[in-house]
Amino acid sequence: MQALTESGAGTEARPVPRSPRRLHESWILDHLRRRGRASRAELVAATGLSRATVSALTGELLAQGKVVVTEPATATGPGRTPQALALNPAAGLVLGLDFGHSRVGVVAADAAHAIIGSATRPYPRSTPWETRCAIAVRLARTVLAGGAPRLAAVGIGIAGSISGRPAVVEAIRDAFTDAFGVPVRTDNNARLAGLAESVWGAARGVPDALYVRLSSGVGGTVILDGRVHRGRGGAAGEFGHVCIDPTGPLCRCSNRGCLECYVGVEAVLAEAGGTTLAELGAALDRGDRDAAAVVAKAGQRIGLVLAGAGNVLDVPHVVLGGDLTVLGEHLVRPVRQTLARHLHANPDATVGLAELGDLDGALGGVALVLHDPSIPFTGPLAPRHLTGTA
Amino acid sequence: MQALTESGAGTEARPVPRSPRRLHESWILDHLRRRGRASRAELVAATGLSRATVSALTGELLAQGKVVVTEPATATGPGRTPQALALNPAAGLVLGLDFGHSRVGVVAADAAHAIIGSATRPYPRSTPWETRCAIAVRLARTVLAGGAPRLAAVGIGIAGSISGRPAVVEAIRDAFTDAFGVPVRTDNNARLAGLAESVWGAARGVPDALYVRLSSGVGGTVILDGRVHRGRGGAAGEFGHVCIDPTGPLCRCSNRGCLECYVGVEAVLAEAGGTTLAELGAALDRGDRDAAAVVAKAGQRIGLVLAGAGNVLDVPHVVLGGDLTVLGEHLVRPVRQTLARHLHANPDATVGLAELGDLDGALGGVALVLHDPSIPFTGPLAPRHLTGTA
């Protein structure tokens, strides 16, 4: 008989608390790590603890310097604005990186989710990984400026499969471990973009959502209960390789008729007879019927795959991201219509555009490490974090 | 800003423990409720607690009579057989029922997962719900025999949508509450069949699995981390209404080209020109090529929908259940081949046949209430459970 691990949330281990106070404190800190800042009322709602317990515990956390008082995330209208709490920014900085096919993006943030700086740098598609890493490390140092000694961890997104390319992943990890001497985490960059949208963007405040990134490649993220669903082999979110016609065109994955073959940017441009997305967008805006038909068909195909996933998961919100979304409502409308028709489990599901732009994957790298319970962000940096910095 | 509930597992609330001992004890009891019986080593693996803690806590639970020593679930070869623990059967009996389109199934079990009795009774498809409930209550009393005073809860599966038929659900709940005076829980019966397979059948010991029930209707279950994923609106698992061709035949759900239109039992029989599944099975066994082509096509369509869900969720195991599975390997082979080709996220995913037979839905009703943390099963029945029994 196989022993089962019944612990709650996907790949994250359930911590064994030493006392109820420690356990409840960990729920508060976990929420602040995930959401950046929260009022005491939000902490009550999020943890299920009583108002008195939250008040007592946050008082202790403030006294210990683990938590600070900060501005609320959004204005709440006239009247007294409730205080927001956040992790102490002195707990350390986080670097998020996104290695795309032809550029790297970098974001530096503190433990309170405040963005310290960001930058992107292009490279030719043929650039070897060693060079890409060297470019990225230099760029990261610029973004960190004088903050490098306070760096606590690095989260890195990579285009394409993680599990299928262990050598690339190891080379990237080694480069950043050597450069900064802090923990390094990696994940697929489309998945990280979806994580970032769920923390800061179009899926903020929605516990369950599907995110699809439509660029040259098509990938995505499944958010369940506010967390990334990674799947047993870590490969969940492969929307691009859902087959829509087994007799369709050959895909780079060696199967036929995958969604990516039809709605990847190059496929859409080829069908529309255009050369750039800007050109296609202009054609749509001046009412070109052929262009509209091509984009409507792409939207229907995306909608059908999302409706399939939605029927299985019953998810109330879908976010579209990636280069193709510059087509805006021309693309969103047919997706929305197809979902309304075919999402039997939840016909009221909403569709929105991603909000975070080019730095979505790098922001997801920041969230990746902030959400990782194995990396501590409570209190000023321990001396071991200061060793090995450049 | 919307407050988020970050609590762990789907629709089940995270309990707020009063002490770490209580919390750890609840993990042990929760595992026994879910799995029926477990050795101390399995409890260590499942809870993440130390061997010493598990030993101390189970010692207390045994002394309190909440837990008993029992036979292990399976023989473990030569040598000393480790003791298994289970909830005290005196904590109460559970009734599981499954209202199909033309029959009701009933199972009675104790808190240690031992089956006390079972029965099924047919009724015409036109039978009104009032009559169905009266038939089921009589049948349940027969199955319980003298055990009715020990009844703790009733779990009921219903064919078709739960959320869309509140009046039917209320009538059923009322009938059983009036008859037995204990908590009553309801769910879709295809979902409960999948839950039962994950507890006792073909998905036992697999934390993540997809279950599809292929009968007149097509439904199913998504198991993630050993728990049923219900979705935000409670409608997850609608494999039957995943669209495979938007220009396809009209479905009873009012959309076109849903999987159910192609692989529901009646659709397969109509395409094969046969009148019964037994007849179709006989044709397959004597090598009828037309029959084989029809069943292969059905299997490919099922496989394609499962591959789509598998690419999004990265799930390692798939279970096929329902009436259509009497076709055995004739059906399973094309499903397996299609998954191997199109399940990009996990090409090694395995496919198996359901193991629990006609009582799967009723067994799922038993699991539904045993897994519900709001129904206590720890220690002899409280007096309130004894009121209102017939």
Is A268 part of a structural domain of the chain?
yes
Which of A31, A238, A241 minimises the CB distance to B6?
A31
B52 and B177 housed in the same domain: no
8 Å CB contact between A3 and B46: yes
pLDDT band, very low/low/confident/very high, at A233 (cuts 50, 70, 90): confident
DSSP string across A130-198 = HHHHHHHHHHHHHHHGGGGGGEEEEEEEESS-STT-HHHHHHHHHHHHHHH-S-EEEEEHHHHHHHHHH
A252 and A346 housed in the same domain: yes
B217 and B328 housed in the same domain: yes
pLDDT band, very low/low/confident/very high, at A375 (cuts 50, 70, 90): confident
Instruction: State the Cα–Cα distance between residues B368 and B189, nearest whole angstrom.
Output: 11
**Which among B197, B234, B233, B245 has a CA at the least distance from the CA of B361?**
B197
**Do A313 and B312 make contact, defined as CB atoms within 8 angstroms?**
yes
A239 and A340 housed in the same domain: yes
Token readout for B212 is 């599809």
Is A10 part of a structural domain of the chain?
no
A348 and A371 housed in the same domain: no
Contact of B347 with chain A, judged by CB distance below 8 Å, is answered with no
A positions 191-230 inside 8 Å of B (CB): 204-205, 207-208, 210, 220, 222, 224-226, 229-230
Is B3 part of a structural domain of the chain?
no
Which of B255, B305, B311 minimises the CB distance to A238?
B311
Which of B4, B30, B346 minimises the CB distance to A46?
B4
B contact test, residue of A311, A317, A339 with most B CBs within 10 A: A311
Is B11 part of a structural domain of the chain?
no
Q: How far is A106 from chain B (nearest CA, A)?
A: 27
pLDDT digits (tens, 9 = 90+) for A273-328: 878 999 999 999 999 999 999 999 999 999 999 999 999 999 999 999 999 999 99
Q: How many CB atoms lie within 10 A of CB B332?
A: 19
**Which among A147, A57, A61, A141 has a CA at the least distance from the CA of A381?**
A147
pLDDT, residue A308, reads 96
> Three-state DSSP class for A297?
helix
| Nearest-10 Cα torsion for A87, A93, A96, A97 | 180
Above pLDDT 70, what percent of chain A?
89
Q: How far is B237 from chain A (nearest CA, A)?
A: 4
Mean pLDDT over A23-52 rounds to 89
Instruction: State the Cα–Cα distance between residues B17 and B20, nearest whole angstrom.
Output: 7
A289 and A379 housed in the same domain: no
A·B CB contacts under 8 A: 242
8 Å CB contact between B133 and B161: no
Q: Which residue on chain A is closest to B229 by alpha carbon?
A: A313
pLDDT, residue B390, reads 33
pLDDT, residue A3, reads 32
**Do A10 and B232 make contact, defined as CB atoms within 8 angstroms?**
no
Look up tokens 């938590």; give the residue: A67
8 Å CB contact between A193 and A207: no
pLDDT, residue A344, reads 84
How many domains is chain A built from? 3
Torsion sign, CA atoms B296, B298, B301, B306: negative
B334 and B235 housed in the same domain: yes
A contact test, residue of B6, B11, B12, B370 with most A CBs within 10 A: B6
pLDDT, residue B14, reads 47
**Do A258 and B344 make contact, defined as CB atoms within 8 angstroms?**
yes
Is residue A111's pLDDT more than 70?
Answer: yes
Instruction: State the Cα–Cα distance between residues B124 and B101, nearest whole angstrom.
Output: 8
Is B237 part of a structural domain of the chain?
yes
pLDDT, residue A379, reads 55
B246 and B330 housed in the same domain: yes
> Three-state DSSP class for B342?
helix
> Three-state DSSP class for A78?
coil
pLDDT, residue A81, reads 61
Q: B-chain residues within 8 Å CB-CB of A81?
A: none
Task: Give the residue numbers spanning the domain of B140.
Answer: 91-191+360-386
**Which residues make beta-bridge pairs with B299?**
none
pLDDT digits (tens, 9 = 90+) for A278-291: 999 999 999 999 99
Q: What is the mean pLDDT of chain A?
A: 87
Task: Name the burial class of residue B181, with classes exposed (0-12), middle (13-18) and buried (19+) by CB atoms within 10 angstroms of its CB.
Answer: middle
Counted residue by residue, chain B has a size of 390
**Do B8 and A8 make contact, defined as CB atoms within 8 angstroms?**
yes
pLDDT, residue B191, reads 94
Q: Which residue on chain A is closest to B209 by alpha carbon?
A: A232
| Nearest-10 Cα torsion for B32, B37, B39, B41 | -40
* CATH number, domain with residue A291: 3.30.420.40
B219 and B315 housed in the same domain: yes
Ranges of beta strands (E only) in chain B are 37-39, 67-70, 84-87, 93-99, 103-110, 115-122, 151-158, 184-188, 209-214, 218-224, 227-228, 317-321, 350-353
Last residue of a domain, one of B41, B69, B87: B87
pLDDT, residue A79, reads 58
pLDDT digits (tens, 9 = 90+) for A338-367: 999 998 878 789 999 999 998 999 999 999
Is B197 part of a structural domain of the chain?
no
Q: How many CB atoms lie within 10 A of CB A20?
A: 17
pLDDT digits (tens, 9 = 90+) for A121-162: 999 989 999 999 999 999 999 999 877 778 999 999 998 777
- A209-214 and A184-188 as β-strands: parallel, antiparallel, unpaired? unpaired
A102 and A175 housed in the same domain: yes
Is residue A8's pLDDT more than 70?
Answer: no
Q: B-chain residues within 8 Å CB-CB of A45?
A: 3-5
Q: Which residue on chain B is closest to A241 by alpha carbon?
A: B344
Q: A-chain residues within 8 Å CB-CB of B40?
A: none
Q: Which residue on chain B is closest to A38 by alpha carbon?
A: B3
**Do A313 and B236 make contact, defined as CB atoms within 8 angstroms?**
yes
Q: How far is B206 from chain A (nearest CA, A)?
A: 8
Instruction: State the Cα–Cα distance between residues A291 and A288, nearest whole angstrom.
Output: 5
Look up tokens 């490279």; give the residue: A123
B303 and B344 housed in the same domain: yes
A311 and A179 housed in the same domain: no
Last residue of a domain, one of B40, B72, B87: B87
Q: How far is B68 from chain A (nearest CA, A)?
A: 19
Last residue of a domain, one of B29, B54, B87: B87
Q: B-chain residues within 8 Å CB-CB of A239?
A: 311-312
Token readout for A274 is 């255009």
| pLDDT per residue rounded down to tens, chain B (390 residues) | 333 233 333 333 444 556 778 888 888 998 999 888 899 999 999 888 899 999 999 999 999 989 999 876 555 555 556 789 999 888 889 999 999 888 999 999 999 888 999 999 999 989 999 999 999 999 999 999 877 778 999 999 998 777 778 889 999 999 999 999 999 999 999 999 999 999 999 999 898 999 999 998 899 999 998 889 999 888 899 999 999 999 999 998 889 999 999 999 999 999 998 789 999 999 999 999 999 999 999 999 999 999 999 999 999 999 999 999 999 999 999 999 999 999 887 878 999 999 999 899 999 999 999 998 888 876 554 433 333 333
Token readout for A317 is 């919100």
Q: Which residue on chain B is closest to A46 by alpha carbon?
A: B5
Above pLDDT 90, what percent of chain A?
66
Is B4 part of a structural domain of the chain?
no
**Which among B246, B290, B242 has a CA at the least distance from the CA of B263?**
B242
**Do A308 and B242 make contact, defined as CB atoms within 8 angstroms?**
yes
Task: Name the burial class of residue A12, with classes exposed (0-12), middle (13-18) and buried (19+) by CB atoms within 10 angstroms of its CB.
Answer: middle
pLDDT digits (tens, 9 = 90+) for A65-97: 899 998 765 555 555 567 899 998 888 899 999
**Do A46 and B6 make contact, defined as CB atoms within 8 angstroms?**
yes
Is A256 part of a structural domain of the chain?
yes
8 Å CB contact between B305 and B244: yes
For residue B358, the one-letter residue type is D
- What interface predicted TM-score (ipTM) does this complex get? 0.82
* CATH number, domain with residue B39: 1.10.10.10
